[in-house]
Structure 1
């Protein structure tokens, strides 16, 4: 039989994971000649009894990884994010889909969708009455985050904005739900042809479904902002809702939302599937960001007036506060003498959540139940689902602003007193600390000034400012021309996000 296509292995070092799932799948691919099977047939179906409890596989593991405990099947099948894919999957551009009946299909299909951090205003939302059974300052689980979104009116705001006829929101489905007889296509990343799935029974795990007069919203919830997500987490529940509506002879607009509660901000990214036969037909509708203010008057009502996103007094207060802050004369270094690379991080919520993660016990337990150093790249990749380059980007941003240092002898990252103060502060205090730290650096200071004055922040202008800021930095440590646009983008993005949290930056 001829080959359907040729697979080529290519994987950058920053995308590699040194974990048990990668080791396990290397054994499985070799044992079952999976690459050749996929090249010949277009896919390979593997059953759980062929995996890590198979006697021959156990012997191969013991031969290659003597003294290391063998992982369970469930720990090598957790692929909610592309960063969690084993190295051999990434290298050959392969992904895996459950078919039911303990069978999984491996093929070069596109399973993930990038989650973008949009420039949208942050809207304050307060509960209409005092809550005594849930501490809004310590929301640590997805169900509790959804409860906060429901109680404070965040969900009501989203529904009413999607359709003004929506005036009441109720929770309907959650948990495990069986869906039967589904058929759909997923795009092949190599030849762009659809791969068809015809599945008899699938058990969908649903975080939440909410409904209003004219609309339905499916929610997948997470407590950190990932680089991407597995589309099937939203698509399969969407097919289930379609079956239910057909049975009930009802018809409403159905949206799929990826809901993220970060340290301070509640983010809804709303999508629609334009073709229920095509899992890759996911299309962004809009993104909403909310905060929990100290001011209890920020209660949303459908009849209430639209809130002003840029109160002039707040703008003037921030400008006056910045003027009181002196610019650092020396470019920042760590205590071990190393010059801190100019920041390239662009998601404030990841930076704040990472500071929280760093300020914990020495060891970190991954989703595969492996223990790794909390301050290392593997912990960052496991927690945030970005590659190892991003680990350095976010560590540099925290170090540049003085929230993280490196031990003089070991070079180990440590959270500073300023970082701990930032981590423990409430939202208003945290914004003040961030403005104070940013205003000490010329590039961020000038960007804040221009945004507050509603002036355009051009790249040419920021290039000059950054060059001035780094004029005493040795040439080998300066920004290269190729990375300069990304560094400029980082400055703009982080400044905008801090001001958005303070309701003084509205891109619209």
Structure 2
């Protein structure tokens, strides 16, 4: 839970005067045993996306890296790489194989998603190679190595590592290269570069073949694959994107005509008036993250806010926001305080194929006046509404009172609309 980690880091920063140490010396080395006095180090030092960082670390502009199995370095490091805007609408349709031991429509774990990607040839297609096989994965230890990393003030700092621990989701080899993969089944706006860099440095010392680095996000039945490389082996911050592509085992082709038909045949029935509804207006910017939560609740029928936060790799506050967003759509219900489960509508939704499920989600969204109006406007004008236009429409429907909250929730409206307008895609056949 973020609150526990935040309190523990607040106490640690105060006890060891970490802020002052970083200002004076540029860094602070903390031992795992000192962290453990407050909380288990594994729960205090591994933040795979910047949004999962405890609030005190964000406010203090502090990030953390392992430098051994028993110590960490804290400084004003820039450690996260944002994913590019996924504006590539082309999705390659990959026919699933007639296998009984794997359900291509229900790849519930990261390892299942990797297996399916490998056996169907998706990874080979993405890399432009043949005969790629999995050869390693799991926890490993690095050798000793050093690197430079960018700081938030524009400078650089050297970090020296002595046998730190790492974990690799998938390691592969073919005639041309070694491939290291990090895989996630929940969406995030960025990732901790360490997840690729530490394995990269380890295997640079072990093999002669070139190393290729792949990050996979399997979200809403679609693989979003990204290939990265480091321009300089000893520069953590030299990471850059090489290519990105999308794949799916289900046809997801949705046209603007499909969306227009939904608009025409579904009159809005919910006006979101602040004074008349018990369900708060949405404050959940990433619609794909709501879909991931629905998928999680389909696997685990009832989850607490803490379990949702842990599974989705975000904090308790976001768990509440996204559960509320599911209530707003009518796919999640919370019969007990702090507990979430799928409603009957949510259960039926998850029994649909990808294309039909997405169309049903659009129907549920446009039941609300504000989305029906704004989506109709997008179709009529061909232009996406500005933040100010969204806020004006929210005021018209008396969505919320506070000006700051209004502005913040406009981001969620924009995020949900963007999810819809990027659905019309070009589906390519897989060869």
Interval containing the TM-score (normalised by the shorter chain): 0.7 to 0.9
Match of 1:303 in 2: none
Is 1:46 the equivalent of 2:30?
Answer: yes
Q: Deviations over 1:402-448 (max 9, x none)?
A: 334677x9798664332232233332331231232244456655776
Q: Tell me the CA shift for residue 28 of structure 1.
A: 3.5
Among candidates 327, 332, 350, match of residue 267 of structure 2: 327
Q: What SS does the aligned partner of 1:134 have?
A: coil
Is 1:174 the equivalent of 2:120?
Answer: no
Match of 2:382 in 1: 456
Q: Deviations over 1:358-413 (max 9, x none)?
A: 56565x5xxxxxxxx43xxx555444345677556645643443334677x97986
Q: What SS does the aligned partner of 1:284 have?
A: strand
Match of 1:428 in 2: 355
Unaligned stretches of 5+ in structure 2?
Answer: none
Between the two structures, name the one with larger relative contact order (CA 8 Å, sep ≥ 6): 2
Indicate if the aligned counterparts of 1:175 and 1:207 stay in contact, CA closer than 8 A.
yes
Change (3 A) 1:452 1:287: farther
Q: Deviations over 1:79-125 (max 9, x none)?
A: 33334444443332222222225222222212222234512223221
The separation in 2 between residues aligned to 1:239 and 1:411, in whole angstroms, is 43
Change (3 A) 1:125 1:477: farther
The TM-score, its normalising length taken from structure 2, stands at 0.81
Kindly report which structure 2 residues correspond to 1:95-494, keeping only aligned pairs within 5 A, or say none.
Answer: 95-121=63-89, 122-127=91-96, 129-160=97-128, 166-189=129-152, 191-245=153-207, 248=208, 250=209, 252=210, 254-293=211-250, 315=255, 318=258, 321-322=261-262, 325-332=265-272, 337-338=277-278, 340-341=280-281, 343=282, 345-357=284-296, 360=300, 364=303, 373-374=304-305, 381-386=309-314, 394-395=322-323, 397-404=325-332, 415-441=342-368, 444=371, 456-459=382-385, 471-473=396-398, 476=401, 482=407, 486=411, 489-494=414-419
The separation in 1 between residues aligned to 2:213 and 2:317, in whole angstroms, is 30
Q: Tell me the CA shift for residue 346 of structure 1.
A: 4.5
Calculate the aligned-residue CA RMSD, in Å.
Answer: 3.9
Indicate if the aligned counterparts of 1:111 and 1:230 stay in contact, CA closer than 8 A.
yes
Among candidates 47, 55, 59, match of residue 79 of structure 1: 47
Q: Rg larger in 1 or in 2?
A: 1
Q: Tell me the CA shift for residue 493 of structure 1.
A: 1.2
Q: What SS does the aligned partner of 2:172 have?
A: strand
Q: What SS does the aligned partner of 2:112 have?
A: helix
Of 484-493 and 254-263, the range deviating more from structure 2 = 484-493
Q: Tell me the CA shift for residue 264 of structure 1.
A: 1.9
Indicate if the aligned counterparts of 1:344 and 1:487 stay in contact, CA closer than 8 A.
yes
Indicate if the aligned counterparts of 1:48 and 1:73 stay in contact, CA closer than 8 A.
yes
Change (3 A) 1:168 1:386: same
The separation in 1 between residues aligned to 2:46 and 2:125, in whole angstroms, is 33
The separation in 2 between residues aligned to 1:84 and 1:264, in whole angstroms, is 24
Change (3 A) 1:293 1:327: same
Match of 2:2 in 1: 17
Match of 1:7 in 2: none
Change (3 A) 1:125 1:28: same
The TM-score, its normalising length taken from structure 1, stands at 0.70
Unaligned stretches of 5+ in structure 1?
Answer: 1-15, 62-70, 161-165, 295-308, 365-372
The separation in 1 between residues aligned to 2:406 and 2:51, in whole angstroms, is 29
Q: Tell me the CA shift for residue 339 of structure 1.
A: 6.3
Change (3 A) 1:477 1:48: closer
The separation in 1 between residues aligned to 2:383 and 2:171, in whole angstroms, is 41
Match of 1:6 in 2: none
Q: What SS does the aligned partner of 1:96 have?
A: strand
The separation in 2 between residues aligned to 1:320 and 1:74, in whole angstroms, is 49
